[in-house]
A and B are shown apart, each in its own frame.
Chain A
Amino acid sequence: MTGWIRRLCFAAGAAAMVLIPAASTAAFSPEWARPYLKRPTPSGAYITKKDHWVAVYKSIIFSTTPHGGMAATYRMVLAPTGREPRRLLIAMDYDSETQTLENPQVWEPGVFGYKRINLAKTSLDFPDLSSDALTSGRFRFISTKAIAPDKRAIVTWKVTDRFAFPGEMLAWPFGMYPAEKLVIRGVAAGGGAVHITYVTPGGKGGAAMKTGPVHLENLPALRYVYKWGNPWLPSRFQAIPFILAVPEKAAGRTWADVSSAVDRIFVEAGKDGAASVKRKADSLISADMGEKARIDVLVRFVAGLAYRNVQWGRGAYTPASPSETLRSMTADCKAKALLLMKLLEAVGVHSNLVLCRVDDHYLADFPLPASAAFNHVVLAVKCKGGETLPASLTTGPGKGWVLVDPTDPQAVFGRQPMGLEGACALWVAPSDGAYFHVHTRQPALMSMDIRETVTVRESGDAGFSLRLHGSADLLEQLVSSKAFNNKDNALRRDCEEYLQSAAPGLRVERAAYRAAPLSGGRPSELTLVGEIPQAMQGVGGQLYTMLAPVAILGRILGIARLGYEWRGGADKPGPAVTVPCVLKPDYQAIGVERSALLTLVFPKGWSVKGTPSLNAGLSSPWLTVKVSGGGSWSVKISEPRGAFHGGSDKKRLEDMNRLASLFRQPILVQRAGGSKDPAHAKEREKRD
């Protein structure tokens, strides 16, 4: 019996040995990939020498899920571009909180055709760390063995929404590798058919939209199309094409529909904990407080909660309930906005949620109704006399309401939230929600103001006192370094180290930080008092230059000491892009206003012979610098937020370098005729 089994096995094995090599190389590969396995390796201007792989074929197939969500199936056949075998690295992007990654599979060439690789040994799940904000975005990285140039790799995976909201999926035509052919289509599934909109960024007429399947060819890799290093690029939504897929039944949805869906999420989350919210509100306010004071106290309370950096979108649509936020005393923007809304409601103040976008890259408009347009939640508060406050909205359904961002730890009711001016926003309401652009009575800017007084002594040493308020880099750095606890003299020491590169040998003797008061009225303030040894450099005779006071101002204002360098990578021509993109750097995402006043005090008889000035005018209107000299020197620099015209990136760079050179110019001082040499004066001062 055993012998028969052995003979049978041998026969089966022999048959397999004969048949398998005879089979095509497509053996064991998925059917959809087979037409592309024998195609020659693509070539063309869209593939650069640094692209080691190219997708011969790539498709994204959208479908609906029975509960109203969306799913996307990704398929790719990839070819190595060089003459040598290469390993393939694939990153499958998904959101672990709201999506599931299903059936990731990779085939690589084997002895008898293609074989599916064991992902347990070759894949790694890794969080998406590309964003400043903590998200539930994840990447499944998969690598193959080295694949010969004439062979192919086949990849597929599916990402499925776990919830009905947001009922939309985004896709970008450009990916990690260039693609010869891209097909994007929808298939009818459990939740019905799919409606696909292909949005191409527009010029003056706005974005162009096309519905139905998308067929694109010769697409370069994303990194050549959208260069993150360029600080003035418009938002990706406004620069390169994207695809939005929604269920067919939602094809005609409006902003009001999106708003209504968002409202339902917040209403559901806000049902819980009314009693605890009321108790907290009562404990925070007193009966003698006016309406504005009540609002302000509640805003300060919510703004003071520890922030968990989870932005709207990417696994973060549902806010924590107010009772949960009060229990944990930590919250993200959604939970903070919801808690503040409920606290205000408990004291009889009306407020409304506003979805908006805060981004380093400016987004002027989102062309079609979708929740993907937003990444932040703030609140609009209705109060008596609110329309006179700087943060009062002048546009949208909430005209006259006061915009508050409780995520900002230094938020003060009435003061404009940072980085929202001109941003697209959505008024969240059950039925009459609307899309609008944020404009407040007094546009918010990142502003900083410095008052510096420098008292020069006969010896050439100088004392300085400096008061800074606003959102300077120094303040932000100090906040992040936790120097404010002033433990071990940390605040004084940190400030000293920060200013040393501007004024060698500078000593800070006193440093004091004053937070913005709860009642508002003034921003946070930092005061420094110290010494600048040998502040003056002789140029001959009784003439001296003094750079330190100006350099200190430049350092605090955030002006690069030796100027700026272009890191956007636009110097080198990139690969050919066959689809329309709007990549002109034309936007300043966050408006900045900087001002400084320097007052110089000299011994009797000394005089200022020259102060720093802009040697030549600035070429573009995007930057204005006003300088006035004399006994006191002042500078005011404005960079308004939004689109700017008539300037190129190079002109902006030139202007910024002119600005930087302003802070490298010393003040020219003439000592009194009878003054002694600083070295002698120093000895005399020491003696005294």
Chain B
Amino acid sequence: MAWIPFFLGPPPPRAHASLDQGFDLDLVLSDLPPDRNEAYDPPGIRSGFALGLMPELISTRRRHPYSKGGVTKYGVLFGAPGWNDPAPKGSEISDKRIESEIDPSRGMAALDDLGLQVVPAWVSTPGSQAVMSWWNRVLENINKRFDKFFRHTSKAEGAADLDKIAPVSLPVKERVARLFAYVREKIHPDPEARTQKNLNRLLRDGNGGERDIALYLIYLLREAHIPARMVIALSRYAPTFQPILEDFRPYSPSYMVQVSPPGKKPIYLMPGDIFATVQTFPDVYLGALAFRQPDDPRTPWPMICLPKNLPLHGTTSIACSAALPVEGAKTPLEVKTTLTDNAAYDFRWRLGLTKPTVKGEMVDGKVVVTSRGKKVTDKWDKIYRNWMDIWTNIKPDGDLPRLDNRKDVEKPLTFAMKGAWNPGVRSIGPRLLVPAFPSSDIFTNPFQTDRRFGPIWWPNAGDYEISLSWSIPAPYGVRQLPKNESVKGPGGLFYTAAYSYTPGGKKGTAGTLKADLKLHLPPMLPASDYEAARMFCERLQRVSETRFLVDTTQPETAP
């Protein structure tokens, strides 16, 4: 068995290769840059120069397109076929050794300055048909399935029904949202559901897989005269798209519906994703490579790049509250988490599809959680403990949340935990020095090098609202507050820190001292924005170290 070499991502510069028909490879790379391992960089499998070795077995078994029609497997190492590759043709193959410099501009994959894969230029060359034949065949089958799927639609809604569900008088966005909600109500997304033959069967079963639900929504949208088509998006965190790897799975695909109301920006929906809402668009698909359903079913699916600047909906809200302890003492810290749209979607997926008790079984009249169920319980507990650790650096006390992550997906996900916290309150004369925010590593500036070479891919991009409310007992009070601050950075980076104090009532009720931090993290930034992003994060770390001064005697005036 031979191993066909190829570069998984873009080829490195200054590479020289010599390859014979038995795939005996001499590869010389000169002046390779060191592995920089920068904070928040794209996965190394994309941006690093990973050499792939594909066993020839795969291609011989399935009659790999490279084996026929004069295009050889040799070509993939040296550049995309159709780009005058130096590989020998036909009869020359048996006795010729290829020796050539590898031209990075002719690679099978190319990345832009954000580390996103661009639509390969070779796709438009005639030679690409041979390389893409497997993909075209698979996508063509989806087209055929479209016809079959919609052949039996007698149980499906007609124009009159649709007018009731999503009246034409409503704005398009609202109509789309109503249809999305209708589909989700009618068909329960089930990742393990088998593919249905047609729409009638899907409607009869009431649950369906990702692709079938997407097809149903497309059907309804088209019936409602709203242009819609399918888009198969490939995750930007997966390896770069390489047609030689003939399988969708390595690219973590998502079946999306692209809604294109005339004169408006397209909307991308994931109706078949069990945890998605109409607002959900996971940031892993921002700017990602995708196959778009063609207008003419006889033509191949074009490759497109999804927009990089789609709005990401969803907020992570962490509301902490505690009573002011005496110097050096611990206090119970209550942490209420509210997650909406993308943030809730991420957390629900983190918990996974299996519930902790699903594998319980009855033993002597009692429900006993089996080892698999226990494993899931442990996993859930670990996720909640880790969540508390991320935001507050403390361990939760008591029972951990046991919410059903499949329930009320369209509503915000809310849960609360509490734990004993030592905030390090210090008394300085008649005053107490109190932290304004919980201690957390999340605020530590991740950018410590003075230069950066690659783009920044912020994990968990989106909006954050972090607050800490101190309950200030009488007769304590607050005379002065730190200044509110608002800072902007590149690509939409911003934070605002606001501090407030509400004195207690005259009857000796406690006052409230509060710090609010609103933060927005963009999904991606080019390396050219590094310096500004670094300065932003330095300021954010400083803000997280803000302290309040609490007077142990009631001040005459509030700030």
What residues of chain A have their CB less than 8 Å away from a CB belonging to chain B?
49, 493, 496-497, 500-501, 504-505, 533-534, 537-541, 543, 545, 547, 561-563, 609-610, 612-613, 615-616, 657, 661, 664-666, 668
Contact = CB atoms under 8 A, between A and B. Distances in A.
Nearest to A489: B450
B422 interface: yes
B393 A563 contact: yes
Main DSSP-derived SS at the B contact region: loop
Given A500-B448, A615-B328, A539 B393 contact: no
B480 interface: yes
A562 B393 contact: yes
The 10 closest A-B pairs by CB, nearest first: A540-B480, A615-B328, A610-B428, A504-B538, A500-B448, A505-B538, A504-B541, A616-B328, A497-B448, A541-B480
Contacts of A661: 422, 424
Nearest to B389: A565
Nearest to B394: A563
Contacts, number: 87
A541 B548 CA distance: 12
Nearest to B537: A504
Interface stretch (B95-103, B189-197, B438-446): B438-446
Contacts of A504: 445, 537-539, 541-542
15 contacts: A501-B445, A505-B538, A534-B539, A537-B545, A539-B433, A539-B482, A539-B547, A539-B548, A540-B480, A540-B559, A541-B479, A545-B546, A545-B547, A609-B429, A613-B426
B481 interface: yes
**Residue among A504, A539, A562, A615 facing the most chain B CB atoms (10 A cut-off):** A504
A666 B448 contact: no
B542 A539 contact: no
Given A496-B450, A537-B545, A615-B426, 11 more contacts: A497-B448, A497-B449, A501-B445, A537-B542, A537-B543, A537-B546, A539-B549, A615-B328, A616-B328, A661-B424, A665-B433
A661 B328 CA distance: 10
Contact of A666 (B440, B445, B539, B545): B545
Interface in B156-181: none
Contacts of B547: 537, 539, 545, 666
B327 interface: yes
A425 B429 CA distance: 54
Contacts of B448: 496-497, 500-501
Contacts of B479: 540-541
Contacts of B433: 539, 545, 610, 665-666, 668
B483 interface: yes
Nearest to A535: B542
B428 A668 contact: yes
Contacts of B548: 539
Contacts of B393: 562-563
B2 interface: no
Contacts of A533: 538
A427 B148 CA distance: 89
A538 B482 contact: yes
Given A501-B444, A543-B549, A610 B426 contact: yes
A543 B480 contact: yes
A49 B422 CA distance: 37
B535 interface: yes
B432 to A, nearest CB: 10
B371 interface: yes
A562 B547 CA distance: 17
Contacts of A493: 449-450
Contacts of B424: 615, 661, 664-665
Interface residues of B, number: 37
Interface of B: 327-328, 371, 393, 422, 424-426, 428-429, 433, 439-441, 444-445, 448-450, 479-483, 535, 537-539, 541-543, 545-549, 559
Nearest to A677: B483
Nearest to A562: B393
A456 to B, nearest CB: 15
Main DSSP-derived SS at the A contact region: loop
Contact of A534 (B328, B426, B542): B542
A258 to B, nearest CB: 48
B53 to A, nearest CB: 20
Given A497-B449, A539-B547, A668-B428, A562 B439 contact: yes
Contacts of B542: 504-505, 534, 537
A563 B543 CA distance: 20
Nearest to B479: A540
B441 A49 contact: no
Contacts of B449: 493, 497
Nearest to B328: A615
B216 to A, nearest CB: 39
A540 B483 CA distance: 7
A504 B546 CA distance: 13
A539 B448 CA distance: 27
A657 to B, nearest CB: 8
B300 to A, nearest CB: 45
A540 B439 contact: no
A528 to B, nearest CB: 15
Contacts of B444: 501, 561
A493 B449 CA distance: 8
A534 B483 CA distance: 14
Contacts of B327: 615
A609 B428 contact: yes
Nearest to B449: A497
A616 B422 CA distance: 11
Contacts of B546: 537, 539, 545
**Residue among B371, B426, B444, B548 facing the most chain A CB atoms (10 A cut-off):** B426
Contact of A540 (B482, B538, B539, B545): B482
B450 to A, nearest CB: 7
Nearest to B499: A540
A618 to B, nearest CB: 12
Nearest to A499: B448
Contacts of B480: 539-541, 543
A505 B541 CA distance: 10
A613 to B, nearest CB: 7
Nearest to B451: A493
Contacts of B481: 540
B382 to A, nearest CB: 13
Contacts of B559: 540
B227 to A, nearest CB: 49
Given A610-B433, A664-B424, A505 B371 contact: no
B549 A540 contact: yes
A533 B445 CA distance: 14
A462 to B, nearest CB: 13
Contact of A665 (B426, B429, B445, B549): B426
**Residue among A497, A533, A615, A616 facing the most chain B CB atoms (10 A cut-off):** A615
Nearest to A496: B450
Contacts of A540: 479-482, 549, 559
Contacts of B439: 562, 664
A666 B546 CA distance: 10
B515 to A, nearest CB: 12
Nearest to A617: B328
Contacts of A665: 424, 426, 433
A668 B546 CA distance: 12
Nearest to B448: A500
A49 B429 CA distance: 57
Contacts of A500: 445, 448
Contacts of B441: 562
A616 B393 CA distance: 20
Nearest to B424: A661
Nearest to A505: B538
A537 B499 CA distance: 14
Contacts of B429: 609-610
Contacts of A496: 448, 450
Given A562-B393, A609-B429, A668-B433, A537 B371 contact: no
A539 B548 CA distance: 6
